[in-house]
Amino acid sequence: MKTFNLFLYAFLSLIILSGCEKNEIETIENQELQKSKTIQKLLEIGFSNDEIIDNGKYFLVQDDVVYPYDWAKELNETSGKQRFNGIPISPNNTVIGIYLAQETFHTLSLRRALEEVIWYHNRLNNRTKFYLSGLGPVVISADNSIFPGFCAQASAPRIVNGEGVPGGFININEDYMVERDYTSNDELKLILAHELGHIVGLNHTNQSFGQLIPGTPQSDPGSIMISNNCGVNWNGYTNFDKLALETIYTLPPPEIKRAGPGCSDKLCIWMVGKFFQHDKSIVEVKVPTGQIYRYNISDLVYNIDFQGQEVITLRLKTNNERNQFGRLGYVDVRIINPDNGDQSSFKRVRR
């Protein structure tokens, strides 16, 4: 089948080439080359030829995963740890803006479901975070020309300028979903969580493609990544969904980017940063005379702001901290992720 496809492309190219100017010929030849490279790479990473469908715009694999024709263009052949789709998003690109192009929809509103899914996703302990952004890079829009019978499709990560970037789009088959009444908030949440999974490179749990992520089973019936889940209700991420993301996108040591005083009496401290272990983070406050005070998660308020940055707020709890902060004008804070013992460096907070 692989050879067949390549011959087919060569043959079609010949037909198309006959009536073209030189520049057009070069463009078409280039595209055919990109296509054959992408097919070859998809075969290498475990898809079968039958699963790779050329729909005239891009390759569609396993029904709802989109690979642009030039997907393999800058693929680094020596990149070692390939999981699922084979391309992990580079650390600098894992905080991902999502643009919901609501104007492309007639009646379906995804906003609430999307916000809820992002809330859940951002509280998994891995370094991928989503936030709503007018800029993307991920665009969610209505597209009723999707493969019949499917609710949505999404593109997978690829390499651009040597870096792994997230998939760029999620297309929603609005007409089909409205017609079938697959529009409850819980149904929308599962579809969005699933397609966002493709955006970061997860593949279908119930299909045989790709390497299994270490520690995950051969089957996980409640996984968000079960294929074709139209009309199925969201029931959260399974432990193995979480483990899959934690394994591919392991949390690096936490970082505090900015910190400052808060509350009207300036006895609170906020920290903005990334890679916090959201459900267990520990904060240490070091006062100028050297004592260190520990705050565990029950003392902290954890949030994610509208840019996908993580925010932890605490209120100084002892008189010594409050006095020194007030009198000497500063304390130092750091964040510890207890599961792996990683810690940020101390950040000075001035009052």
Q: Judged by CB under 5 A, does residue 51 bind Zn ion?
A: no
Nearer to Zn ion, 64 or 321 (CB): 64
Q: What is the bridge-based pairing of β-strands 158-160 and 95-100?
A: unpaired
Q: Judged by CB under 5 A, does residue 174 bind Zn ion?
A: no
The contacts of residue 30 (CB under 8 Å, 6+ apart) are: none
Which token pair is 30? 């280039």
| Contact stretch for Zn ion (CB under 5 A) within 59-67, 139-147, 308-316, 329-337 | 59-67
Judge contact between 10 and 32, C-beta under 8 A. Answer: yes
Distance CA 106, CA 103 (A): 8
Q: Least distance (Å) from Zn ion to the CB of residue 346?
A: 44
Closest CA to 224 of 185, 188, 197: 197
Distance CA 345, CA 275 (A): 13
Alpha helices per DSSP H over 45-129: 111-122
Q: Least distance (Å) from Zn ion to the CB of residue 65?
A: 6
Nearer to Zn ion, 118 or 225 (CB): 225
Nearer to Zn ion, 39 or 224 (CB): 224
Nearer to Zn ion, 38 or 85 (CB): 85
Q: Least distance (Å) from Zn ion to the CB of residue 28?
A: 31
Judge contact between 172 and 151, C-beta under 8 A. Answer: yes
Closest CA to 301 of 286, 292, 314: 314
| Contact stretch for Zn ion (CB under 5 A) within 24-32, 60-68, 122-130, 175-183 | 60-68
Compose the 317-346 pattern: x for residues touching Zn ion by CB under 5 A, - for all others: ------------------------------
Q: H or E element: which one contains 172? A: strand 169-172
Which token pair is 47? 């898809």
Count CB-CB contacts under 10 A for residue 255. 16
Nearer to Zn ion, 36 or 227 (CB): 227
How many residues bind Zn ion (CB under 5 A)? The answer is: 1
Nearer to Zn ion, 51 or 64 (CB): 64
At position 19, the amino acid (one-letter code) is G
Q: Least distance (Å) from Zn ion to the CB of residue 195?
A: 7
Q: What's the order of all strands across the beta sheet hosting 301-304?
A: 255-262, 268-274, 310-315, 301-304
Q: Least distance (Å) from Zn ion to the CB of residue 306?
A: 28
Nearer to Zn ion, 98 or 269 (CB): 98
Nearer to Zn ion, 235 or 323 (CB): 235
Q: Least distance (Å) from Zn ion to the CB of residue 42?
A: 15
| Contact stretch for Zn ion (CB under 5 A) within 3-11, 64-72, 262-270, 279-287 | 64-72
Q: Which residue minimizes CB distance to Zn ion?
A: 64
Q: Least distance (Å) from Zn ion to the CB of residue 198?
A: 6
Indicate the Cα dihedral angle 256, 257, 258, 259, nearest 10°: 0
Strand, coil or helix: 298: helix
Where does residue 136 rank: exposed (0-12), middle (13-18), buried (19+ CB within 10 A)? Answer: middle
Q: Least distance (Å) from Zn ion to the CB of residue 80?
A: 25
Which token pair is 232? 């199925």
Nearer to Zn ion, 30 or 145 (CB): 145
Q: Least distance (Å) from Zn ion to the CB of residue 300?
A: 36
| Contact stretch for Zn ion (CB under 5 A) within 46-54, 57-65, 130-138, 293-301 | 57-65
Q: Judged by CB under 5 A, does residue 64 bind Zn ion?
A: yes
Residue where the block lists tokens 């051969």: 218
Nearer to Zn ion, 42 or 331 (CB): 42
**Sign of the CA dihedral with 48 first, then 238, 124, and 285 last:** negative
| Contact stretch for Zn ion (CB under 5 A) within 62-70, 172-180, 206-214, 292-300 | 62-70
Distance CA 227, CA 229 (A): 6
Q: Least distance (Å) from Zn ion to the CB of residue 79?
A: 23
Residues near Zn ion, by CB under 5 A: 64
